Amino acid sequence: MPDAISIDVPPNDLEAFWMPMTANRRFKKTPMFFSAAEGMYYATPDGRRVLDAIAGLWCVNAGHCHPRIVEAIRAQAGKLDYASSFGVGHPLAFHFANRVVEIAPPGFRHLFLAGSGSEAVDSALKFALAYHRARGEGHRQRLIGRQRAYHGVGFGGLSVSGIGWQRAQFGALLPATSHLPHTHDLARNAFSRGQPAHGVEFADALEGLLFAVDPSTVAAVIVEPVAGAGGVLPPPQGYLQRLREICDRHGILLIFDEVVTGFGRLGAPFAAQALGVGPDLITCAKGMTSGTVPMGGVLISDRVHDGLSQGPEAVPELAHGYTYSGHPLACAAGLAALDVYRDEGLFERAARLAPIWEDALHGLRTLGPVRDIRNLGLLGAIEIDGGDGAPGERARACAEVCLERGVFIRALGDTLILSPPLVIDEGQIGQIVDAIGSGLRRLA
Ligand code: PLP
């Protein structure tokens, strides 16, 4: 890391900032900070270099502080800081949308913009409801998610999410929701490489659900093509195709939440392309600006767009939008990120590195109490036997060893999560695996 990276000193009093999704009281007793970043690395205030194995929070796909993205944001901030997209326009939002639909799957020619992944998901769910209503099927109101799904923290997204502890504090949420079973099947699929061979029939549970709730009341099924925060669960072979078929049989929209998988994570622009299944709506965020400026989006298929565009021309097609939809700084960052992805061939790089990544991760199989290793594209997970102690504590201990060894990974429950910037090289893959290996050996 060059000397230019400054060292910021955190304040003594950490009380005021109530950190999101964090055990605040615990964190503030033993805080940990990053104060600068570049490429694959974070820097701590005391000047340590830490290899970022999760791209911040699954988002910094082009690597940290990429000079082209930094410069684009800097220039835009001094030129047009803010302009609304409600009834007026600024060119960047249109340029950006054109560029995103260029790399989208066929049949997606429109992009709605939001400020985050949660907003993108809530938007997509609302679009599904509005689409059916526009076609005279307003009775289609049920939304189907999946166990172990993470769709952000808005009321809609949380209602279709399937991670119990994240919902428990908030009561009933949206009433007309149901959940498919998750696809994690250790008995048959442990240590699968890529998409597991078993489990296409988990999709048939959708028929079972529909039997119970009446298919003509269902608006949409939403799934992450690869469940991320639920533990990196690649879809069983044929599973997404089967979901698509069942949705088609019953006139139900299929939404892919690609907040994690969008923008190259699986070696193609979107998982829909990497896995060869076409949804009706695609949500994205994170890699859209390479994590630099908050932004989310919904790619809208022609089917949904045309269905929503039948009303009078003077009336908004959607009574929906955010102050920060199409924010100029986010669009500038997004355009620069797309340039970097293209010019540096980062999606292709992810595809090329995926088998090397897979071999490296699976090399950890015999070390310590490993229960499962999963991978797809540049996503990975190491599931650890939680032992007799508190759930998640062993994975946490392993992540701490990694940090001591200069590698930042994330422990989610008993699973170590990996999702590095797409600029990673083979040496750095080795460094990540070595650090995890030390952590696992210490648990053994
Ligand atoms: N959807 C998925 C699949 C996610 O992984 C996330 C965040 O991790 C979200 C939605 C929510 O995104 P955000 O945190 O930007 O609101």
Nearest atom (ligand 1) to Cα of 118: 16
pLDDT of residue 31: 94
Distance 197 CA to ligand 1 centre (A): 27
Distance CA 20, CA 210 (A): 36
Distance 380 CA to ligand 1 centre (A): 17
pLDDT of residue 376: 98
Question: How does pLDDT run across 138-185, given as a tens digit for each residue?
Answer: 999 999 999 999 999 999 999 999 999 999 999 999 999 999 999 999
Please list every protein residue whose CB sits less than 6 Å from any atom of ligand 1.
116-118, 121, 150-152, 224, 228-229, 257, 259-260, 285
> What's the pLDDT band for 386 if we cut at 50, 70, 90?
confident
Considering only CA atoms, which residue is closest to atom 9 of ligand 1?
152
Out of 58, 118, 284, give the residue to mutate to test ligand 1, the one with the largest number of ligand atoms within 8 Å of its CB: 118
Quote the Cα angle for 266-272-276, to 5°: 100
Nearest atom (ligand 1) to Cα of 154: 16
**Exposure of 233 in the CB half-sphere (CA atoms within 13 A):** 25
Distance CA 161, CA 421 (A): 26
Q: Is the pLDDT of residue 46 over 70?
A: yes
Q: Is the pLDDT of residue 2 over 50?
A: no
Distance 163 CA to ligand 1 centre (A): 13
Q: What is the mean pLDDT of residues 7-20?
A: 87
Distance CA 91, CA 114 (A): 17
Distance 57 CA to ligand 1 centre (A): 9
Question: How does pLDDT run across 262-274, given as a tens digit for each residue?
Answer: 999 999 999 999 9
> What's the pLDDT band for 444 if we cut at 50, 70, 90?
confident
Quote the Cα angle for 126-127-128, to 5°: 90
Question: How does pLDDT run across 355-385, given as a tens digit for each residue?
Answer: 999 999 999 999 989 999 999 999 999 999 9
pLDDT of residue 418: 98
Q: What is the mean pLDDT of residues 214-231?
A: 98
Nearest atom (ligand 1) to Cα of 58: 8
pLDDT of residue 3: 45
Q: Which two tokens stand for residue 72?
A: 């684009």
pLDDT of residue 7: 54
Distance 292 CA to ligand 1 centre (A): 15
Nearest atom (ligand 1) to Cα of 285: 15
Return the SS3 of 132: helix
Domains and CATH numbers, the chain: 24-62+345-443 (3.90.1150.10), 71-343 (3.40.640.10)
Q: Is the pLDDT of residue 1 over 90?
A: no
Distance 257 CA to ligand 1 centre (A): 9
pLDDT of residue 338: 99
> What's the pLDDT band for 11 if we cut at 50, 70, 90?
confident
Name the helix (H) or strand (E) containing 441. helix 426-443
> What's the pLDDT band for 5 if we cut at 50, 70, 90?
very low
Distance 119 CA to ligand 1 centre (A): 9
pLDDT of residue 80: 98
Q: Give the pairing type, strands 49-52 and 41-43.
A: antiparallel
Considering only CA atoms, which residue is closest to atom 1 of ligand 1?
151
